[in-house]
Structure 1
Amino acid sequence: MFPERFSNLPAYAFPRLRSLLDHHEPGGDVVHMTIGEPKHTFPDWVSGIIAENAAGFNKYPPNDGTPELQGAIADWLKRRFGADVDASSQVMALNGTREGLYNAAMALCPETKNGAQPIVLTPNPFYQVYMIAAISVGAEPVFVNATSASDHLPDFTALPEDVLKRTSIAYMCSPANPQGTVASEQFWRELIALAEQYDFQIFADECYSEIYRDTPPVSALKVAQDMGTDSERVVVFHSLSKRSNLPGLRSGFVTGGAESIKRIKQLRAYSGAPLPLPLQKVAEKAWADDTHVDENRALYQEKYRIADEIFANVQGYQGPDAGFFLWLPVENGEEAALKLWKETGVRVLPGEYLSKDTDQGNPGREYIRVAMVAPKDEMQRGLIQIRDCLFA
């Protein structure tokens, strides 16, 4: 009666965390540092734009995004990365990038690759939708460990040839969730060359690209264009959730080659849920405005400084290059999260809830992920409690 392909899925990370913690009393005032849900103030013009365009709730929104929104996105890609795309044929607005990361695989992954079951590569640790997308299209998910030995980036080039010959899609997140590592231009060049050699697509999840410490992350899109690569080779995803503190807007976009976007749009026409018109107007303004993004980034840069000071004497601590997570080394992530909850009330996520066991081990088992999204004073208090409880 029910499909077998989803029968062996582990519990999702947050229900799993509730099962671990919730039958124990917290050891103090609760500090939530688990979910990457931005808490900084979103731009003050958001509500006004929704009110001004409220009549748009009385209309079905355009499936692909309004021309004005597509144009604002294309303009931002040019302004931010120096990348050139055609707004009408190479951009589609998304109802949150998770939708796009999933449906792009549905639209673009072939049924077979070189006569065999296709493979979808994913970093390990990973955003869970990568794995579910692979399973949904009948592909084999292959988890490529990203550890301290590889600077917390997956080494796709080290995979055996039989795996690469079956690979149809490689998901890559940069800046990385959870480690905060940024893929260099050289990393992207090597991955793109590998994709050209073995004829697979790269799905570049760049949702954290606007939160960084010093140097703006490069985009796989621009690197591919500089290399003269086939435009269909790289499909790139961005979001307003982190960039603009608008997780509830559920707004992002996908860009890539015209044929890839055409196929994603066609699937969306049948099965997707386009963003309501008033929210598309907010997104249009958000992509056109950089001031609020600069202000938001400055707040996170101050949080980096605070974290670096608090954990300065903790062995193995490595502050993130980008994003808003700390990836802290511990002996056992589950034990550390439980101890922290019972003794302090600080709530963090065991790293193994974001990763899979492989022949090389589970790269998340000896880590906890800490989200630095709370107001600065609350975050600072939580980080001090983590240090004193786990690293004293």
Structure 2
Amino acid sequence: MNPRLSLLQPYPFEKLRRLMADITPVAGLKEIRLSIGEPQHATPVFIKTALSEGLSGLANYPSTAGMPALRQAIAAWIGRRYGISAPDAETEVLPVNGSREALFAFAQTIIDGGRPDALVACPNPFYQIYEGAALLAGAQPIFLNTLPGNGFNLDLQALSDAEWGRVQLLYVCTPGNPTGKVLSLDDWRELFALSDRHGFVIASDECYSEIYFDERQKPLGGLEAASKLGRDDYRRLVMFSSLSKRSNVPGMRSGFVAGDRSLIGKFLLYRTYHGSAMNPAIQTASIAAWNDEAHVIENRRLYREKFAQVTPIIAEQLDTKLPDAGFYLWARTSIADTEFARELLRQYNVSVLPGSYLARESDGINPGANFIRIALVADPAECLEGARRIAEFCRKL
């Protein structure tokens, strides 16, 4: 048995299940789940149609590199979305079965397991896949706190030069989960300088990039930042994106990686052995999704309306505000986050995720402690009712 499996911690939702195991919610109130970030808006009909039309491809083994038409659709979307020259569809783009599996597998490609002192840096709070990927690749995760006093920026000063010299891979998440923080061009300039100095690879998780609130202010992406800073070769940078949130198709498991062609080539080699080719029908549906923006604009409108209604209600009672992007509210609690979540479920049948479950203790603190993550993924009426219940609960504390 791989001994590194014993290093893995329970997933946040397993911790939540255990936390709530003895809770019986009050009778008479419908359950409202604001704990898990699973998109619940309707999947566009044209994507379902394209999926069914792609079933004829099931008689053939799919290529790990994906259909040329899919890679071209992704490359063209990157060019349109970020206003840059489209990356080369043959060498700088690779379809993946959702960003989650790619974020994990990428570490297995990058990390030199022969170095016992190898580090993987990631934000804190963070997406737990980063930690698991590091541990199972033979590296040690090291955490960069993102705190409200610092505008939820990465604390890059937390690591010494010697520690940065041991970092082989840095995960960033922009827009961030759970804070919604978007990295600025100055942030990217600093990250690229560190990467140049120490030689580590940057994995930019951008799966929330298409959920934002002002059509005139799109979140900056990693490839876009690199292009603006004269790094058109995307050296030591790979971005990860997905259709799950953008197009409301989490069950399709469809995304892509794009960036440094040398890294993409090695990742393709790894995936060829890993058996990670995308289902042909999913590829056909993905082409249709990447080629259409109208449904994405409508999706953002729904989120914008929900946040406009819900944020003021919760902000009257908890320290929170509209995030830069994404579909979470990150709210500070007046009592322990776990106790807040338990009593909210018991008294009002609303589930939220304790922030401490999304973080690890670093520099003597857990930066998720006394925060909750509220996922506004349900329909507007349900989110609004959930917000009202949270506000009423807070008034009684």
Shift of the alpha carbon at 1:315?
A: 4.9
Contact in 2 for aligned 1:307/1:319 (Cα 8 Å): no
Shift of the alpha carbon at 1:218?
A: 0.6
**Cα deviation 1:227-250 (Å, max 9, x = unaligned):** 233523211000000000110010
The answer for the alignment partner of 1:389 in structure 2 is 393
The answer for the alignment partner of 1:365 in structure 2 is 369
Contact in 1 for aligned 2:98/2:255 (Cα 8 Å): yes
Distance 1:8 1:104, change over 3 A: closer
The answer for the alignment partner of 1:211 in structure 2 is 211
- Secondary structure (helix, strand or coil) at the match of 2:257 reads strand
Match of 2:356 among 335, 352, 360: 352
1:165 aligns to 2:169 (yes or no): no
- Secondary structure (helix, strand or coil) at the match of 1:101 reads helix
1:377 aligns to 2:378 (yes or no): no
The answer for the alignment partner of 1:34 in structure 2 is 35
Match of 1:263 among 261, 266, 274: 266
Shift of the alpha carbon at 1:196?
A: 1.0
Residue range with higher mean Cα deviation, 227-236 or 135-144: 227-236
Shift of the alpha carbon at 1:372?
A: 0.3
Gaps of 5+ in 2: none
Contact in 2 for aligned 1:123/1:154 (Cα 8 Å): yes
The answer for the alignment partner of 1:242 in structure 2 is 245
1:193 aligns to 2:193 (yes or no): yes
Q: Give the alignment's TM-score, normalised by structure 2.
A: 0.95
Shift of the alpha carbon at 1:79?
A: 0.2
Match of 1:273 among 263, 268, 276: 276
Contact in 2 for aligned 1:311/1:387 (Cα 8 Å): yes
Whichever residue aligns with residue 49 of structure 1, its letter is A
2-side partners of 1:226 and 1:341: how far apart?
47
Contact in 2 for aligned 1:157/1:194 (Cα 8 Å): no
Whichever residue aligns with residue 132 of structure 1, its letter is G
1:98 aligns to 2:103 (yes or no): no
The answer for the alignment partner of 1:339 in structure 2 is 343
2-side partners of 1:350 and 1:391: how far apart?
19
Q: Give the alignment's TM-score, normalised by structure 1.
A: 0.96
- Secondary structure (helix, strand or coil) at the match of 1:263 reads helix
Whichever residue aligns with residue 13 of structure 2, its letter is F
The answer for the alignment partner of 2:6 in structure 1 is 7
The answer for the alignment partner of 1:181 in structure 2 is 181
- Secondary structure (helix, strand or coil) at the match of 2:234 reads coil
2-side partners of 1:224 and 1:112: how far apart?
30
1-side partners of 2:315 and 2:344: how far apart?
20
2-side partners of 1:273 and 1:171: how far apart?
21
Gaps of 5+ in 1: none
Shift of the alpha carbon at 1:99?
A: 1.2
Contact in 2 for aligned 1:157/1:191 (Cα 8 Å): no
Shift of the alpha carbon at 1:273?
A: 2.5
Shift of the alpha carbon at 1:112?
A: 5.5
Residue range with higher mean Cα deviation, 272-281 or 314-323: 314-323
Give aligned-pair identity as a percent: 39
1-side partners of 2:296 and 2:395: how far apart?
34
2-side partners of 1:41 and 1:372: how far apart?
14
Total equivalences in the alignment: 389
Match of 2:230 among 219, 228, 231: 228
Whichever residue aligns with residue 61 of structure 2, its letter is Y
State the superposition RMSD in angstroms: 1.4
Shift of the alpha carbon at 1:23?
A: 2.3
